[in-house]
Structures are given as C-alpha cells and as structure tokens.
Amino acid sequence: MLKRLVAWGALVVASLALAGCSSGGGDVALPGTTTTTSMAAGGTATSAAAAVSGPVTAPSTTQAQGFISARAQWEAGAKAVSAQQNAYFAQAVADLRTALDNGPGSQVVAEAIGALQQLALIPETDADPAQQAEAKSDVMFLDNYFGTPGLFQ
C-alpha cells in the first residue's frame, strides 16, 4: 500500500509538471498503473508505478490540482502553530475531496482524508499514549502520501 501511495502522489505532481497545468492533463500512472511518456528530448520514461500491475488511468487536471492544493495546505500547516493547524488540515480535506470526486485513486485519497480528519481530532495538549501513537501514524502516512517525509518532525 505504501508503494502505491507514494507512487500516486509523486505521479500526480509529475502529471501537472508534464502537462504544464493545462486542461488536457498529461500521461501519468496512478497506483496500479503504468504509463510511458514521451520526453521532449525524444526519449521515453516509464513511471515508478510500473511495478504495480493494473489498468492504465490518467488523473483529471482537477484531481491533480486538488492533490497539489492539499499538499500546499499540509506544508503550510507544518509551519503553523499547533492552534492553527486544524484550519490547514480542514482545507486539505476539502481539496482532497475534489480529487476524490474527480478521478481514479479514490481509495488512497479517502485514506488521506480520514487521516487528516483523525489528526485534527487529537487534542493539542494532554493527548493520551493511544492518541499520540495515532497522531504519529497519521503524520507518517500523510508525509508519505504528500511526498514530504519528516515534515512534521
């Protein structure tokens, strides 16, 4: 699952870069997919998700933009004081719901939404050991999802 998660996030970002954020999108592989993209220099590149088998599916531009917006909120939340982080998490959830509603990879997106919502419920102070463990697990999952390992450490 982690392999699929990291591949999905990285490849959605890559799709925006390749497409130049145009409405046409770009060839991109999502978890369980493979895609070969022609490069400007005439070569080809096969996605990192090639090791995961399944149907080829390209995300919509709306889906990719939802992921990028949610990632920006995640990164901004890391810089905010803890009392303000939930506002960033809530906006990231809203952005991911756009991604969820507009393309493939919905299981992973739904898991990220759930992790953000759970993280927002954990108290800022006086968290018990179970809540602390849940927060650590959620942060690790979300850092992997957004491709930002160690961001909240």
pLDDT at residue number 104: 72
Q: Does the predicted model carry a pTM greater than 0.95?
A: no
Among candidate residues 95, 90, 119, 102, the one with its CA nearest the CA of residue 62:
102
pLDDT digits (tens, 9 = 90+) for 69-105: 999 999 999 999 999 999 999 999 999 998 887 667 8
Task: Report residue 36: phi and psi, to 5°.
Answer: -110, 130
Dist. CA 60–CA 25, nearest whole Å: 6
Dist. CA 106–CA 4, nearest whole Å: 12
Among candidate residues 2, 8, 15, the one with its CA nearest the CA of residue 106:
8
